[in-house]
Amino acid sequence: MTAQTSTTHEDHKPTLTVAQGIALIFGTNIGAGILSLPYAARNGGFLALVIALAVAGTLTTISMLYVAETSLRTKEPLQLSGLAERYLGQWGRWLVFVAIMINSIGALIAYAGGSGRILNDILGVPSTVGTLLFFILGSFVMYKGLHTTGMIEGLITIGMALIIFSLCGWTFIGPGISAGNLLILHPFFIVPIMNLAVFTFLAQYVVPELARGLNRTNPKAIPTAIVGGMVATGFTLALVPFAALGLLGVEVSEVVTLSWGESLGSVAYYLANIFALLAMFTSFVAIGFTAMRNVMDIGHWEEHSSRRVLALGLTVLPPLIVSVLGLLGFVSALSYAGGFAGAIMSVIPVALLHASRKRGDVEPVYKVTWQGHISIQVILIAVYFVAFLYSIAAIVGLLPTGWA
């Protein structure tokens, strides 16, 4: 399905279908995180990973629903930094902007390095050339806007699903998996896994785009799209490590498709790495587009002004430069981004929900119910704060053995 557009000035606002909304959430989440989860879980075991995914996924979904209600209470179609400025003032505006950019730059650094490595592996082009090609194509889609982003996300998501289910089926029917590799639980390692799990689900900042796209066509479906996208994300994030760890045990590579594909043969190897490339691309486009829009919001720039190119450059050039210079590793970039951005993104949706209920413009068609209970808000903030402390400890070298 494709989003509908009209020719009148009023109808130039972008729209999304429910399926495209689900694909936007799914595509944002299914990126570099899924490729590094098996490696991050190798010490704690698959069961530790499932616990981390369940906790991080549930809490993030709830916080996304907070952002959805806030967006629906606001007449102007603002990004998350704009919503924070509207309801929390300048401190909220800049705090959210910093969180989004840290998360985005961390993610795009990982995609730059990962895409170059994969294109070098399957096409033989130099890694730097592969990274540049990846960034150029992704930047073009970002520049074209929400309609193109939603359409591309939907198409690629279908291809990703076909590939991943083929690889998992190939693993189960072919060499098979070992139950002994999966029935492992070392609770001590749940904390470092949680830090990466937080990153893989950190999609609150795309909710305003989702609300913006669905609000004119089917606003009541916004929570359905959020929950649907997150459930699909959680299932896929568990399925890939289930197959990879079940087959390989602790012998997984940092980018799982490399070792997973090699163990299944040459055809599977190429399929696995095409999946990895598509996963990085959908996430690159969704995260990059949202970051670009937030740069425009923070500068109060018109969406289709000449400064759109400048916003695009400010979004993609810093991570590209860091990656080319080789300053951060793949998993490290994701973990640091998840920890720092997660701490901020745990507090802001809670504050936005309370403030928008007092000073919102309109009565929303959707309101959170039990998900807004104070006990859930406390747990949400506490879990993300632990992830933040983990990132600080990692940087200063205070992590226990095996957590790094």
Token pair for residue 344? 């901020």
Q: Give the Cα separation of 23 and 285 in Å (integer).
A: 12
CB 298 within 8 A of CB 88: no
Q: Give the Cα separation of 228 and 156 in Å (integer).
A: 17
CB 255 within 8 A of CB 330: yes
CB 245 within 8 A of CB 181: yes
Angle, alpha carbons 195-157-240 (nearest 5°): 45
Within 8 A by CB and 6+ apart from 403, the residues are 189, 191, 192, 390, 394
Tens-of-pLDDT digits for all 404 residues of the chain?
A: 333 333 333 444 567 888 888 888 887 787 667 878 898 888 899 999 999 999 999 999 999 999 999 999 998 888 888 899 899 998 888 888 888 787 787 778 877 777 888 888 888 888 889 889 998 988 888 887 666 666 777 778 788 888 888 989 999 988 889 989 999 998 888 888 887 787 788 778 789 888 888 877 788 899 999 999 999 999 989 999 999 999 998 888 877 877 888 888 888 888 888 888 888 888 788 788 888 888 887 887 876 777 888 988 888 888 888 777 766 554 455 555 556 676 777 788 999 999 999 999 988 888 999 999 999 999 998 888 887 787 777 767 777 766 76
pLDDT of residue 5: 38
Residue in the block written with tokens 């996963």: 279
**CA nearest to 291, candidates 71, 138, 183:** 138
Burial of 300 (0-12, 13-18, 19+ CB in 10 A): exposed
pLDDT of residue 6: 37
